[in-house]
Amino acid sequence: MNRTPDEALIARLLDVISGRRPMEEARGLLAPDVVSHMDQYTVRGIDVWFDWLEFLRSRAGGPVEVDLDHFVKHPDGTISAHGWLRIANARERTPRQNEARYRLENRHITEVWTTRGNYEMIFGRRVRRSLSWLLVLVEMAVWRRLPWRQRAR
């Protein structure tokens, strides 16, 4: 597949998410102060990104995989990756494609936009209601502070 350098960088991050590349490689792909947007929520920092991925894996019961279909370059310079996030080795996937949008500067991902709908395979119907999703985010906030939780990085 012929990809631009920015698309190849995003594909490498998706390989990290899928466990096809080491987690530590994300440090060279993401800006240290990467901004992550999920619906109306925004967080900043690579540590939050690492914790979110670790939380996803813990709730999925193991690895997750990204099945990348295609990229779309937007007039504002951002790039959308379209595909599916699924639990590894699961045959089923959501009927509609997921989408995440990325802004890159100086060969690093500086901003990410995603939606809770992208995580339906992991969290089920809880992604469909705002209040249920807020409880997932609260669960993650508590989970991040558990003293016995081993950091992924």
Residue 7 has pLDDT above 60, yes or no: yes
Give the pLDDT of residue 96: 79
103 Cβ contact partners less than 8 Å away, ≥ 6 residues apart: 77, 78, 109, 110, 111, 112
Q: Is 112 helix (H, G, I), strand (E, B) or coil?
A: strand
Give the pLDDT of residue 153: 45
Q: Could you tell me the fold of the domain covering 5-144?
A: Nuclear Transport Factor 2; Chain: A, (3.10.450)
Give the pLDDT of residue 26: 97
Q: Where are the domains of the chain?
A: 5-144
Is residue 152 within 8 A of residue 23, CB to CB? The reply is: yes
Can you tell me the distance from the alpha carbon of 107 to that of 115, in angstroms, rounded to the nearest whole number? 24
Residue 124 has pLDDT above 70, yes or no: yes
Mean pLDDT value across residues 109-130: 91
More confident residue, 11 or 93: 11
Packing angle, helices 46-60 and 130-144, rounded to 10: 110
Give the pLDDT of residue 99: 96
Give the pLDDT of residue 130: 87
Per-residue confidence at 151, pLDDT binned at 50, 70, 90? low
Residue 149 has pLDDT above 50, yes or no: yes
Mean pLDDT, the chain, integer: 90
Tens of pLDDT, residue by residue over 34-68, are 999 999 899 999 999 999 999 999 898 888 999 99
